[in-house]
């Protein structure tokens, strides 16, 4: 009854829904040969098909792609899978996708600037995808709200109740919004997402991460009381000290009520390397919450089993579905990075 009362109350305020709230559909942006996936296209395609198929058991999936006929051919069953054509540079829908807020019971899809994680990569086509979806009438029962602000979905976590979790390394990175101070960015985050509190993580990063420490690689809300985070117990590992400091800072964080969070540690995967010997940013924190399930990235490593079991305890009422994402870290992202949820009441319209 208390939860129902809270949900009825918050329908009349501005907020960024938590990922575990009811979703209308999930977006993927499909790999193609005219992208960095060209040398791994077959393996990447298989991974994206696995993600789409797993999610489609629970909710609709929107696949943004360069060629509907080509991409449709990869699927044996397209029930609950829908396709729309739009040009793209890459596949990281979490960062170029729209971020949906609810204000007075209505959905506003916020369209931020995506500049390739601080101008590291070309992103002009990706930056137009959300606008294209509106122009094609794909997104309905919502309005578009565009901002002259660089912001990626992977850089923020919401508990749905007025708290945003983020990292200072990303939001304060000089090639994103150099015109703003930390206080100004915090105020913009509060204003745009209807937040009362912003928790800034000042420590933690993964080797090979192009995003400047997106929060979804390090620490995630599992519910309004629980944060799952990446831990490291090997003093010889390059991540040890930063992740130790991150854990200590997480212990200091409190909810709006003043109470501490329940912290759940996820294992750090064994080091993975590309063909040139560069370490890749494997992380179990990059899970994706969907309706009645959680998709968990695994990498064919000894820690996979433990990570899945830990997340089962974090989400006891959801099915936990491992998805092999070893290929995704070759391009320095993982499962959550390639998905973006659209909550109710946004509607998907494809004729």
pLDDT at residue 125, as a whole number? 98
Nearest to 19 by CA among 156, 112, 183: 156
The CATH number of whichever domain residue 251 belongs to comes to 3.75.10.10
For range 221-228, the mean pLDDT: 98
- pLDDT tens-digit profile of 230-242? 999 999 999 999 9
Q: What is the DSSP letter of 248?
A: H
Mean pLDDT lowest among 124-128, 244-248, 261-265, 347-351:
347-351
CB atoms within 10 A of CB 107: 22
Q: How many CB atoms lie within 10 A of CB 183?
A: 8
pLDDT digits (tens, 9 = 90+) for 85-112: 999 999 999 999 999 999 999 999 999 9
Task: State how far the Cα of 268 lies from the Cα of 243, in Å rounded to an integer.
Answer: 10
Contact in structure between 189 and 225 (CB atoms under 8 Å) = no
3 state SS of 199 = strand
**Alpha helix (H) ranges present in 120-265?**
129-135, 168-171, 182-193, 240-252
Q: Is the pLDDT of residue 229 over 80?
A: yes
303 and 284 Cβ atoms separated by less than 8 Å: yes
Give pLDDT, residue 11. 52
Q: What is the predicted pLDDT for the residue at 350?
A: 84
- Is the preceding omega at residue 174 within 30 degrees of 0, hence cis? no
- How many domains does the structure of the chain reveal? 1
| Residue 215, number of CB atoms within 10 A of its CB | 25
- In order, the DSSP letters of 259-279 are PBPEEEEEPPPPPEE-TTS-E
Q: Which residue range(s) make up the domain with 273? A: 2-348
Note the pTM of the prediction, 2 decimals: 0.96
Model pLDDT for residues 291-314, shown as the tens digit of each residue: 999 999 999 999 999 999 999 999
Average confidence (pLDDT) over 20-32: 98
* Residue 4 pLDDT > 60: no
Percent of the chain whose predicted confidence (pLDDT) is above 90: 96
Determine contact, residues 321/307, Cβ cutoff 8 Å: no
CA atoms within 13 A on the CB side of 116: 11
Give the count of beta carbons closer than 10 Å to the beta carbon of residue 193.
22
Please, what is the average pLDDT of the chain?
96
3-state SS, residue 38: helix
């Amino acid at each position: 009854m208390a939860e129902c009362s809270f949900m009825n109350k918050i329908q009349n305020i501005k907020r960024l829904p938590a990922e575990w709230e009811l979703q209308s559909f999930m977006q993927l942006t499909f790999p193609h040969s005219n992208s960095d996936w060209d040398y791994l296209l077959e393996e990447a395609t298989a991974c994206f098909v696995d993600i789409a198929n797993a999610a489609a058991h629970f909710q609709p999936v929107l696949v943004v792609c360069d060629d509907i006929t080509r991409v449709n051919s990869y699927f044996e069953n397209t029930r609950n899978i829908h396709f729309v054509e739009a040009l793209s540079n890459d596949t990281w829908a979490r960062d170029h996708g729209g971020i949906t807020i609810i204000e007075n019971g209505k959905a506003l899809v916020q369209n931020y600037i995506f500049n390739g994680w601080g101008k590291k990569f070309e992103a002009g086509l990706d930056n137009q995808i959300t606008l294209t979806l509106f122009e094609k009438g794909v997104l309905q029962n919502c309005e578009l709200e565009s901002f002259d602000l660089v912001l990626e979905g992977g850089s923020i976590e919401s508990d749905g109740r007025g708290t945003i979790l983020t990292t200072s390394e990303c939001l304060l990175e000089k090639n994103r919004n150099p015109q703003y101070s930390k206080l100004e960015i915090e105020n913009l985050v509060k204003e745009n997402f209807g937040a009362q509190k912003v928790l800034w993580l000042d420590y933690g990063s993964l080797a090979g991460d192009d995003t400047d420490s997106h929060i979804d690689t390090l620490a995630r809300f599992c519910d309004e009381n629980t944060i799952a985070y990446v831990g490291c117990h090997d003093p010889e590992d390059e991540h040890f000290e930063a992740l130790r400091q991150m854990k200590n800072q997480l212990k200091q964080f409190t909810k709006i009520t003043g109470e501490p969070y329940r912290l759940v540690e996820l294992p750090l995967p064994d080091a993975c390397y590309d063909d040139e010997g560069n370490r890749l940013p494997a992380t179990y924190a990059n899970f994706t919450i969907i309706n009645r399930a959680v998709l968990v990235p695994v990498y064919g490593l000894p820690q996979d089993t433990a990570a899945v079991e830990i997340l089962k305890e974090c989400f006891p009422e959801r099915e936990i579905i491992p998805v092999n994402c070893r290929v995704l870290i070759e391009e320095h992202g993982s499962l959550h990075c390639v998905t973006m949820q659209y909550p109710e009441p946004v509607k998907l319209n494809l004729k």
